[in-house]
Amino acid sequence: MLNKYPLWKNLLVIFVILLAALYALPNIYGEDPAVQISADRQATVDAATLDLVRETLKSEDISPKSIALEQEQVLVRLSSDKEQLQAREALNKRLGDHYIVALNLAPATPSWLKSIGAEPMKLGLDLRGGVHFLMEIDMNEAMRKILDGMKDTIRSSLREERIRYTNVSVEDNAINVELRSDEDFQQAEQYLDGRYQGYQMVVDAETNTVTMRMTEQKLAETRDYAVSQNITIMRNRVNELGVAEPVIQRQGANRIVVELPGVQDTARAKEILGATATLEFRMVDTENDVRDAVNGRVPFGSELLPSRNGGPQLLKEDVILTGDHIVNAGVGYDEYNRPQVNIELDGVGGDKMSLATKDNVGKPMATVFMEYESTGERDAEGNLQFNKKAEVVSVATIQSRLGSSFRITGVGPQEAQNLSLLLRAGALIAPIQIVEERTVGPSLGQQNIDAGTQAIIWGLVLVLLFMVIYYRKFGLVADMALAANIVLIIGVMSMIPGATLTLPGMAGIVLTVGMAVDANVLIFERIREEIRAKRSPQQAIHHGYDSALSTIADANITTLIAAIILFAVGNGPVKGFAITLAIGIITSMFTAIVGTRAIVNSVWGGKRLSKLSI
Amino acid sequence: MRQFIKTNERIGFMRFRGVFALISGLLLIASIVSLSVNKLNFGLDFTGGTLIEVGFPQAAELDQVRSTLEAGGFDDAVVQNYGTQQDLLIRLAPREGVKAEELGTQILTTLREGIDKSIEMRRIEFVGPNVGDEFVEQGGLAMLTALICILIYIAMRFEWRLAVGAVSALAHDVILTLGLFSALGLEFDLTVLAALLAVIGYSINDTVVVSDRVRETFRKYAKLTPTQVINRALTDTMSRTLITSLTTILVLLALFFVGGQLIHGFATALLFGVFVGTYSSIFVASSVALSLGVSRDDLMPTEVEKEGADQDPLQ
């Protein structure tokens, strides 16, 4: 018997290892300190920006390694951290409000590697430093807001249709419409039936009530919408913060994960991300007396709200416009140098505003500033409880029909600044609370990388030494397979776009190093047994590999099951461990079985041997 | 040829079954007693609360830190050294009231103003109480799912008696590792949980190799008694079992000593787990299968074994 691999098998082994090595290569080039320039919705990054950046850096005597325009961003690579900070400062000043200048570490991958899509591994926050937030959305409030909007719509359509009602109210995912007479009831039934998608009509002829109930499907869609809307807004806010490569993802039914690599000032990040301030525009109720309302007689359809300057105001419950129609907001000053917020609306918002103000020229309109504060408590179903704080910021008389741009006065300078930032980035449609935070400082991140690398190197050296001492030449073969396995793990980790290396992930690599030789140990022990049973060396090799195969497969599949379950239910760092463990198991099967066999066959196969160095 | 074990002689492992059953039994009872009396020292991941790791420019004075925090209104803060003299870990229980997530920043500000401006923030972790409860739930679920999936796989691949033996060995390892953490009061966090699942993976790996050999030996030697078969299989796999445990323990020692503080609990759990996992795959798994009456007839292939043609022996 002669042990020979067909040529294609040898080539396959070489090809796989070379490919992995190629994709693992970017990891050794390190990173350049860089600044990354992107624009908000009011500006674009183009060749002109590029020139401006070049010129600014030149005037500051900073000579960057490279400046490149890619994917509507300018990336400036610098040679030191100090220059990086200088460059950010200078560019921030020069480019102004509409551009965001973020600090970043750009991989120094050579362009020939980049052209084949090779990138270094992504490092988890525990290795590169940064903040991880888990935020929870208040779904009750999100639903209430949407049902309130629906209530307003139904109310105004009934009015237009001249169907008289006594009350329209929101109750438990449904809107109750109480009609004035039997005739109105019939009209309403006819009019409302099937008019609004996602709502089911239930009628009660005895009380003349029509109930529009949200369908299960619509409920689910609405919840989804609330989350995705909040994610979009969160993304805008993160952009305003100027963070390179943020991660914003949905997790579960009502949570959002936000990861901000490299952010140190968590206090400001939290303030901006968690802010739920929004604006509402409402008409002031001029038909009723505020004093009556203060004494407890709040007229139907109106609401009493505190005012920032002066006593409470009586406002109509109907909302003319909410903050989500705002496309841009900026700070300005009026002729008396008082701060004001200039607001621009989108098309729909402009129409709404113009429709509402058309018949109300000369009447006062109020700007309501709303903020949600978490009480930290939860209701019976485990939903977070929030307090809504509404405050009238300003009341102004409508001078003429308003369009899609107007201004709000009556705010302080700092407030104008914050308000305009928040309005620009969009208001959250439902309040959120941070339920988990993990912040890692940069020095700890680097320390974790060093410790992890050290552990891998020490583990590797110990195992390599042991194998070569115990199994001699065959041990050397196993060592080569082990080294190839490390390259494969790093290569695969770099190739999979979603894979992130964390400290537990590095521990997973260490563990794999120890366990990966198991397959070789099994094979080699078998070969020894065969030799003791007086088989010829070639037969011993053949039988050794063959009979160990099913054992190796069984043993590895069970470990793989554990790794997959870890990946499925674990959170960030644990997932990182599971992924390197799973990849390690799979690659080690390849290197330990196919890889070593290729070497063994080409060194010892095809020869007459009297003994083996095992 | 270097060898740990002279394989010409068979070792009578199963003669000492009684002794090892007694040892395992006592250890299991001790673990369960410790778990019910001492409980587990759950870490922040599971209890919720806030944790801040700070780095001082020189060795930190614990008393000074405590009194500064007390003056700042954080009298329930638990302060301890972490790894080195300069590193401190400060823990706060979950608090009633608003903005629990801002405690970290507040503590840092208090320390910087009260003691030293150059105190460095190394790590802040905040876990809301509900999130902690979910982690407990998820962790338990993960453990259970892993055990069940592995049981199903083993039952499909092997005879049920061997499967029960294998899973008993797993449960044995997990309970003893938990017992160790409870008895020593070591902190049990998410990474330790991950380590425990890795222990399950490792221990099953070991047990599968032995069970595989038991099956093979049964098929090969018709005349041996079940006890002789198991002794022979254990002896034949002994050097592999020891070598793999040794290489794994080598890398884990590297992880334990140079892997840094954050990985310490993880490495401890794995070191101990691998140790008891090796023991259990030799002494627990096979003797359980033997006590259940595993015999040659149960393990003969129903047909010529082909890939994917394995029948579930239960059916």
Which tens digits make up the pLDDT trace of A442-483? Answer: 788 889 999 999 999 999 999 999 999 999 999 999 999 999
For B70, the enclosing helix (H) or strand (E) is helix B62-71
What are the pLDDT digits (tens) for A571-582?
Answer: 766 788 899 999
* Phi, psi torsion values for A146, nearest 5 degrees: -70, -40
For A323, the enclosing helix (H) or strand (E) is none
* Phi, psi torsion values for A208, nearest 5 degrees: 55, 45
- Indicate yes or no: CB of B200 within 8 angstroms of CB of A562: yes
- Indicate yes or no: CB of A440 within 8 angstroms of CB of B212: no
Nearest chain B residue to A444 by CA: give it. B122
Is A1 in contact with A530 (CB distance < 8 Å)? no
- Report the pLDDT value the prediction gives residue A601, as an integer from 0 to 100: 92
What are the pLDDT digits (tens) for A349-377?
Answer: 888 888 888 888 888 888 887 776 655 55
* Residue among A436, A443, A471 with most chain B CBs within 10 A, to mutate: A436
Does the domain at B13-42+132-299 match CATH 3.30.420.40? Answer given as no
- Indicate yes or no: CB of A577 within 8 angstroms of CB of B145: no
With 60 as the cut, is the pLDDT of residue B306 above it? no
The contacts of residue A129 (CB under 8 Å, 6+ apart) are A261, A262, A264, A440, A441, A442, A443, A444, A445, A446
Q: At what angle do helices B103-114 and B62-71 cross, to 10 degrees?
A: 120
Q: 3-class SS at A200?
A: strand
- Report the pLDDT value the prediction gives residue A375, as an integer from 0 to 100: 57
- Indicate yes or no: CB of A511 within 8 angstroms of CB of B251: yes
Rounded to two decimals, the ipTM of the complex is: 0.86
Structure tokens, A48:
């002109």
Query: Burial, A54: exposed, middle or buried (Cβ in 10 Å; 0-12, 13-18, 19+)?
Result: middle
Of A477, A582, A573, the C-alpha closest to A521 is A477
Is A548 in contact with A556 (CB distance < 8 Å)? no
For A427, the enclosing helix (H) or strand (E) is none
Write down the CATH number for the domain with range B49-127: 3.30.70.3400
Q: What is each CA distance from A122 to A102, A240, A315, A320, in whole angstroms?
A: 18, 23, 53, 47
Structure tokens, A485:
């396995």
The contacts of residue B244 (CB under 8 Å, 6+ apart) are A515, A517, A518, A521, B206
SS3 content of chain B, % helix, strand, coil (to 5): 65, 10, 25
Min Cα–Cα distance to chain A from B115, Å: 20
Is A402 in contact with A357 (CB distance < 8 Å)? yes
With 70 as the cut, is the pLDDT of residue A136 above it? yes
- Indicate yes or no: CB of B98 within 8 angstroms of CB of A503: no
Q: At what angle do helices A216-241 and A413-425 cross, to 10 degrees?
A: 130
What are the pLDDT digits (tens) for A413-431?
Answer: 766 776 676 667 666 667 7
User: How many residues are present in chain B?
Assistant: 315
Of A494, A446, A502, A488, the C-alpha closest to A123 is A502
* Phi, psi torsion values for A384, nearest 5 degrees: -70, 145
- Report the pLDDT value the prediction gives residue B308, as an integer from 0 to 100: 45
**DSSP summary character for residue A307:** B
Structure tokens, A124:
């988890």
Average pLDDT, stretch A132-143?
85
Is A261 in contact with A130 (CB distance < 8 Å)? yes
Query: Burial, A172: exposed, middle or buried (Cβ in 10 Å; 0-12, 13-18, 19+)?
Result: exposed
Average pLDDT, stretch B171-176?
93
- Indicate yes or no: CB of A454 within 8 angstroms of CB of B236: no
Domains of chain A plus CATH, in order, are 7-26+449-604 (1.20.1640.10), 31-108 (3.30.70.260), 136-249 (3.90.1150), 275-438 (3.30.1360.200)
Tell me the range of A373-387, B18-32, B93-107 where mean pLDDT is highest: B18-32
Taking CB atoms and an 8 Å cutoff, what residues of chain A touch B154?
Answer: 558
Residue A543 or A144, more confident:
A543
- Report the pLDDT value the prediction gives residue B4, as an integer from 0 to 100: 56
SS3 content of chain A, % helix, strand, coil (to 5): 50, 25, 25
Of B13, B81, B140, the C-alpha closest to A570 is B140
Q: Where exactly are the structural domains of chain B?
A: 13-42+132-299, 49-127
Q: 3-class SS at A15?
A: helix
How many CB pairs below 8 A link A and B?
A: 242
Nearest chain A residue to B146 by CA: give it. A562
Question: Based on C-alpha coordinates, what's the Rg of chain B?
Answer: 25
The mean of the pLDDT values for chain B is 84
- Report the pLDDT value the prediction gives residue B98, as an integer from 0 to 100: 46
pTM: 0.78
Q: What is each CA distance from A612 to A520, A539, B1, in whole angstroms?
A: 15, 12, 10
Of A398, A75, A422, B273, the C-alpha closest to A407 is A398
Taking CB atoms and an 8 Å cutoff, what residues of chain B touch A513?
Answer: 251
Is A562 in contact with B204 (CB distance < 8 Å)? yes
Q: At what angle do helices B129-157 and B190-220 cross, to 10 degrees?
A: 10
Burial A491-523 (b: 16+ CB within 10 A, else e): bbbbbeeebbbbbbbbbbbbbbbbbbbbbbbbb
- Indicate yes or no: CB of A555 within 8 angstroms of CB of B208: yes
Ranking A423-427, A552-556, B194-198, B221-225 by mean pLDDT, the lowest is A423-427
- Report the pLDDT value the prediction gives residue A48, as an integer from 0 to 100: 86
Min Cα–Cα distance to chain B from A544, Å: 13
With 80 as the cut, is the pLDDT of residue B43 above it? yes
Taking CB atoms and an 8 Å cutoff, what residues of chain A touch B120?
Answer: 441, 443
Structure tokens, B178:
């938990």
* Residue among B205, B241, B264, B275 with most chain A CBs within 10 A, to mutate: B205
Is B166 in contact with B19 (CB distance < 8 Å)? no
Question: Cα torsion at A205, A207, A208, A209 (round to 10°)?
Answer: -100
Give, in degrees to the nearest 5, the angle at Cα A125 between A121 and A127. Answer: 65
Structure tokens, A69:
């325009």
* Residue among B247, B256, B270, B310 with most chain A CBs within 10 A, to mutate: B247
The contacts of residue A581 (CB under 8 Å, 6+ apart) are A508, A511, A512, A559, A563, A566, B198, B201
Taking CB atoms and an 8 Å cutoff, what residues of chain A touch B97?
Answer: 376
What are the pLDDT digits (tens) for B69-98?
Answer: 888 888 888 898 888 888 899 988 876 654
DSSP string, A464-517: HHHHHHHHHHHHHHHHHHHHHHHHHHHHHHHHSTT-EE-HHHHHHHHHHHHHHH
Residue A242 or A283, more confident:
A283
- Indicate yes or no: CB of B194 within 8 angstroms of CB of A574: yes
Of B281, B272, B284, B282, the C-alpha closest to B199 is B272
Min Cα–Cα distance to chain A from B32, Å: 24
